[in-house]
Amino acid sequence: MNDARRDFTRMGFFKTYVLPGVSIFLIPVLTLLFFLHAQALCDGRARDAILANVATSNLSPARREQAVAFAVEHPYSELIQDERFAADVDSTTRFYFATFRWMIRLSALSIVAGVAMCAVAAIGLWLSRRSQRAQYLSLAAGWQVMRIYGALQAIAQGVMVLALSFWVTALWMNFYSVKLVGAAGLVAAAGTLAVVMAIFKKPRMDMHVEGKVLAPAGSPRLWEDLGAVCEKVGTAPPDNVIVGVDSNFFVTETPVHVDGSVCRGRTLYVSLALLKQMAGAEAEAVLAHEMAHFSGDDTLYSRKISPLLARYGLYLQSLSENPIALPVYFFMNGFRALFELSRGEQSRSREFRADRIAAEATSPRDLAAALLRISAYAEFRGEIQQDLFSRKEALEAADISARIERGFHEHAMAFAADPRLGDLEPAHPFDTHPPLAQRLEAVGVPIDSQDVPSLVASPGDGRWYDAIDAAEEIERGQWREFEERFRDVHEVTLAYRLLPETDEERAIVAASFPDVEIEGKKGSLSLACDSLHYSAWPGRIAFAEVLGFVFEGQSLLVSYTRGGRHVATIPTKTFGPRQAEAIQAVQAYYGRYLSAASHCEEKPDESQADTV
């Protein structure tokens, strides 16, 4: 990444997280300045009144001079704190000056607390870079301190906003608005309540995976070979092995819901689709990499940190939904973003460690070949799925697995020989995995080596795939379920991407947006996927003609163009209890049209393009 890109990234991060985070000081600083001004203004008025009384008094010149000096040196706000002096002052004046005094103290304390929290956050972030254990402890302690700070800060800023809503107009304009003060009070109370309630919310941490659990007795060869890998790495075998057709391998200690059961303890997920394409030594290198995560306690700390981050995320969401808590949200979101930088750094370090251990347990070439095949597979599968998903007709069969089988080896060789492979951008700071080029360089197989294409020149032998009993049957069933879901999602989303021009396209859209008729007392509303009609109109109005909808009283006005601008009326009140249904139906059908029109504008029909 060049210097300009790096500077842009730093500036973007500053604008997105750091600058908004400073807004935590906005209300306290404004409150401090305003009430210092208010106190000084009232001190000045009181001093002027005292000096006027002194000037007209019967005091001797010497006593008068002493009284003037005393009034100048001791402001009224100071004098009124003396109980004997305050006893002679009316209660309203005492209340006003007490308000100034406490708002100054509260805002100053809020500013000091904010600065202290910045220091605490900085120390925690610095410590979090030292090790995974330090990262967990800094987040655990930081979360406890910051959520309490956030709640107290939200309460304090709510009080400040309430005070400002009264005193700004009262001091500068000699009046106050009960509605403004009431609205400020409601907002402050709602924000405070939301922040406090968010502290006690617990997010769901369920992890669901599509796959099948392999019992140790069911695939003895696999478990035996896996045990040998674990012995090389220096860790115990996993408690569970799940096989599926996703494009990756992973390990976790989080409970995993799979195939109607829950896997607890240390779980390994293995991709059957990838194992089939890999040589035995390559698969062994990948599994050694995954087992190295167990040996380094990576999954242990992921299991500990994930719930904290989930609770933090839920807390941030509650803060973001309340205007009075937005400054606290920006501040805490900035800390979360900085923590993610540290987390990404630690995660990339442990990936390099796992790669190193895998290369030592097998060989650098085996690991490099495995990484190349996995990257090529993910790219090829993504291209196939994108091609299928972009089609504008219902899919009779997704046939993703068959297309991968036919073309993967050729794609893998082209992928490894692509000169652009070495131009991969460095990882974004939030990425948890280093880029492929850095990983290959770290294990001693630089991406620009002439030997790299040879790593995937031969098709994989699928040795580990064959070690799984009934692997082909399991894989076929997994692909069948995945491709059925893919077709269903494609067909549902297709309705939002088509402006039907043929009977077949209209049938696809009508499956999700069928013709609807809603009866009212004085007429009926008819909706189709491309038009709408009210019984009092002379004809249908195509959504392509509609300029917009506007509510006026109990009627929905449809503005449309047809040889000029026109307005048609739908008296929604005549639908009685079905009024909301009618309005929602219009919004849904017109929203579908807008989505499809936008999609067609962005992506012209590729069937009309020349092909080679």
CA distance 404 to 381: 7
The answer to whether 274 and 247 have CB atoms below 8 angstroms apart is yes
**pLDDT-derived band of residue 569, with 50, 70 and 90 as boundaries?**
very high
* DSSP, res 559: E
> Residues 147-179: pLDDT tens digits?
888 888 888 888 898 888 888 888 888 777 777
The Cα-based distances of 427 to 352, 356, 435 in angstroms read: 13, 19, 6
* DSSP, res 17: I
CA distance 172 to 165: 12
CB crowding 226-262: b at 16 or more within 10 Å, else e: beebbebbebebbebbbbbbbbebebbbeebebeeee
For helices 91-128 and 132-173, angle between their N-to-C axes, nearest 10 degrees: 160
Q: Is the pLDDT of residue 421 over 80?
A: no
Burial class (CB in 10 A: 0-12, 13-18, 19+), 166: middle
The answer to whether 245 and 475 have CB atoms below 8 angstroms apart is yes
For helices 298-320 and 132-173, angle between their N-to-C axes, nearest 10 degrees: 10
Tokens read off for 313: 């995320």
Quote the pLDDT of residue 29.
94
The answer to whether 106 and 35 have CB atoms below 8 angstroms apart is no
> Residues 200-222: pLDDT tens digits?
677 777 789 999 999 878 789 99
Q: Is the pLDDT of residue 36 over 60?
A: yes
* Residue 193 one-letter amino acid: L
User: Residue 549 in 3-state DSSP?
Assistant: strand
**pLDDT-derived band of residue 6, with 50, 70 and 90 as boundaries?**
very low
The CATH code for residues 503-608 is: 2.30.29
- Cα atoms found within 13 Å of the Cα of residue 108, Cβ hemisphere only: 8
Q: Is the pLDDT of residue 26 over 70?
A: yes
**pLDDT-derived band of residue 116, with 50, 70 and 90 as boundaries?**
very high
Quote the pLDDT of residue 151.
83
More confident residue, 371 or 430: 371
The answer to whether 144 and 138 have CB atoms below 8 angstroms apart is no
User: Which of 48-57, 326-335, 418-427, 585-594 shows the lowest mean pLDDT across its residues?
Assistant: 418-427
Domain boundaries, the chain: 12-199, 208-489, 503-608
CA distance 584 to 398: 34
User: Residue 529 in 3-state DSSP?
Assistant: coil
The proportion of the chain whose per-residue pLDDT surpasses 70, expressed as a percent, equals 93
Tokens read off for 487: 């077709």
> Residues 241-285: pLDDT tens digits?
999 999 989 999 999 999 889 999 999 999 999 999 999 999 999
Which contacts (CB < 8 Å, 24+ apart) does range 555-563 have? 556/583, 556/586, 558/532
**pLDDT-derived band of residue 603, with 50, 70 and 90 as boundaries?**
low
Quote the pLDDT of residue 284.
96
CA distance 543 to 546: 5
* Residue 202 one-letter amino acid: K
Q: What number is the average pLDDT over the span 450-457?
A: 85
What's the whole-number average pLDDT of the chain?
86
* DSSP, res 297: T
> Residues 61-95: pLDDT tens digits?
888 788 788 878 888 888 888 888 888 888 888 88
CA distance 410 to 414: 6
Q: Is the pLDDT of residue 4 over 50?
A: no
Quote the pLDDT of residue 15.
72
**pLDDT-derived band of residue 552, with 50, 70 and 90 as boundaries?**
confident
> Residues 512-524: pLDDT tens digits?
999 999 998 888 9
More confident residue, 240 or 428: 240
